[in-house]
Structure 1
Amino acid sequence: MNSDGVTRLSIIWILSVISFFFRKKLIVTCVVSLFTIGTVWSGDHQRDSLIILDDISTSALIDSLTAIHSLDFAYDADILNGSEKRNIAVPYLISEQWLEEVFGRDGVEVRLINNQVIIGRRRGRILSSEAVRVSGRVEEALSGEPMPMVNIGLTGRPMGTITNDAGYFEFLVPEQFKGEQMVFSHLGYIGEKIIVPSRDTMVVVSLASSSVNLPEVNILYQDADVIMRRASQRVVENYPVFPTFLTAFFRETIQQDDRFVDVSEAVVEILKPSYQNVFDQERVRFIRGRKGRETVDMDLINFRLVGGPYHFSRLDVVRNGDFFYNEEGYSQYEYTFNGVDIVFDRMVYRVGFEPINDAESLFYKGEMRIDAESYALVSIEFELTSASIRRSRSYLVQRDARRFRTTPLFARYLVEYRPWGDLWVLSRVKGEVNLRVVDRNRRQRTVFHTVSEMLVSDHTRAASQHRIRWAETFRPSYVLSEHLGDFDPEFWKEYNIIQPDETLEKVFR
Structure 2
Amino acid sequence: MKSSHIHLCFCLLFLFTGFISPDLYAGSCYSIQAYQDSTEYQSFQGKVVDIQTGNPIIFASIFLSGTNIGTVSNSEGEFLIKIPMFLENKVIGISSIGYKNVEIPIGQLNPEGNLVELEPNPIPIEEVTIINQDARDLLEMALQSIPDNYSNDPVMMTSFYRETIKQNRNYVSVSEAVLDGYKASYTDLGDLDRVKIFKGRKSQDVKKMDTILFKLQGGPQTMFMLDIVKNPGELFEDDIMGYYIYQMGGIINIDDRQAFVVTFEQMEHLDIPLYAGKIYIGVNDYAFVGAEFKIHEKNLENASQYLIRKKPVGMRVEVDNANYLVNYRLIDGTWHLNYVRTELMFTVRWKKKLFRSRYTTMTEMAVTDIEARNITKYKFRETTKRSDIFADQVSNFEDPDFWGEYNIIQPEESIQSAIERIGRKLQRMTR
Give the TM-score taking structure 2 as reference length.
0.88
Helix, strand or coil at the partner of 1:320: coil
Query: Which protein shows a greater Rg?
Result: 1
By how many angstroms is 1:401 displaced? 0.7
- 1:249–1:268 CA contact under 8 A, matched in 2: yes
Question: Equivalents in 1 of 2:356, 2:30: separation in Å?
Answer: 43
Q: Which runs of 5+ in 1 are unaligned?
A: 35-111
Paired position in structure 2 for 1:254: 165
Distance 1:406 1:194, change over 3 A: same
Q: 2:92 matched to 1:182?
A: yes
Helix, strand or coil at the partner of 2:216: strand
Q: 2:374 matched to 1:375?
A: no
- 1:333–1:353 CA contact under 8 A, matched in 2: yes
Paired position in structure 1 for 2:426: none
> Match for 1:456: what amino acid?
V
By how many angstroms is 1:222 displaced? 3.6
> Match for 2:329: what amino acid?
R
Helix, strand or coil at the partner of 1:271: strand
Aligned positions of 1:383-394 closer than 5 A: 383-394=294-305
CA deviations over 1:377-405 (Å, ceiling 9, x no partner): 11100111123322212110011111211
The 10-residue stretch of structure 1 (422-431 or 332-341) with the greater mean CA deviation from structure 2: 332-341
Question: Equivalents in 1 of 2:176, 2:406: separation in Å?
Answer: 12
The 10-residue stretch of structure 1 (145-154 or 191-200) with the greater mean CA deviation from structure 2: 191-200
Q: 2:335 matched to 1:424?
A: yes
Q: 2:80 matched to 1:170?
A: yes
Q: Which runs of 5+ in 2 are unaligned?
A: 421-431
Question: Equivalents in 2 of 1:327, 1:447: separation in Å?
Answer: 37
CA deviations over 1:231-250 (Å, ceiling 9, x no partner): 11100110111011111111
Question: Equivalents in 1 of 2:251, 2:416: separation in Å?
Answer: 38
Distance 1:328 1:286, change over 3 A: closer
Aligned positions of 1:55-454 closer than 5 A: 114=28, 128-197=38-107, 201-202=111-112, 203-211=114-122, 214=124, 216-217=126-127, 219-223=129-133, 224-294=135-205, 296-298=207-209, 300-322=211-233, 331-356=242-267, 359-454=270-365
Relative contact order: is structure 1 or structure 2 higher (C-alpha 8 Å, sep ≥ 6)? 2
Aligned positions of 1:467-506 closer than 5 A: 467-486=377-396, 487-506=398-417
- 1:361–1:391 CA contact under 8 A, matched in 2: yes
By how many angstroms is 1:406 displaced? 0.9
Distance 1:363 1:199, change over 3 A: closer
- 1:171–1:496 CA contact under 8 A, matched in 2: yes
Helix, strand or coil at the partner of 2:9: helix
Helix, strand or coil at the partner of 1:193: strand
Question: Equivalents in 2 of 1:127, 1:429: separation in Å?
Answer: 30
Helix, strand or coil at the partner of 1:417: strand
Question: Equivalents in 1 of 2:99, 2:272: separation in Å?
Answer: 37
By how many angstroms is 1:156 displaced? 4.3
Distance 1:306 1:324, change over 3 A: closer
Paired position in structure 2 for 1:56: none
Question: Equivalents in 2 of 1:185, 1:348: separation in Å?
Answer: 14
Helix, strand or coil at the partner of 1:492: coil
Helix, strand or coil at the partner of 2:152: coil
By how many angstroms is 1:129 displaced? 2.5
Task: Give the total of aligned pairs.
Answer: 417
Question: Equivalents in 2 of 1:220, 1:329: separation in Å?
Answer: 29
- 1:153–1:184 CA contact under 8 A, matched in 2: yes
Question: Equivalents in 2 of 1:222, 1:365: separation in Å?
Answer: 23
> Match for 2:393: what amino acid?
H
Question: Equivalents in 2 of 1:297, 1:431: separation in Å?
Answer: 23
Distance 1:127 1:367, change over 3 A: farther
Question: Equivalents in 2 of 1:294, 1:259: separation in Å?
Answer: 10
Question: Equivalents in 2 of 1:120, 1:257: separation in Å?
Answer: 36
Helix, strand or coil at the partner of 1:144: coil
Paired position in structure 2 for 1:13: 12
> Match for 2:12: what amino acid?
W
The 10-residue stretch of structure 1 (343-352 or 354-363) with the greater mean CA deviation from structure 2: 354-363
Question: Equivalents in 2 of 1:183, 1:407: separation in Å?
Answer: 42
- 1:243–1:462 CA contact under 8 A, matched in 2: no
Distance 1:217 1:13, change over 3 A: closer
Question: Equivalents in 2 of 1:370, 1:141: separation in Å?
Answer: 26
Question: Equivalents in 2 of 1:330, 1:148: separation in Å?
Answer: 30
Question: Equivalents in 2 of 1:325, 1:478: separation in Å?
Answer: 27
- 2:157–2:181 CA contact under 8 A, matched in 1: yes
Distance 1:275 1:407, change over 3 A: same
Distance 1:331 1:241, change over 3 A: farther
Of all paired residues, the percent bearing the same amino acid is 28
By how many angstroms is 1:355 displaced? 2.5
Question: Equivalents in 2 of 1:441, 1:397: separation in Å?
Answer: 21
Distance 1:120 1:264, change over 3 A: closer
Question: Equivalents in 2 of 1:446, 1:326: separation in Å?
Answer: 37
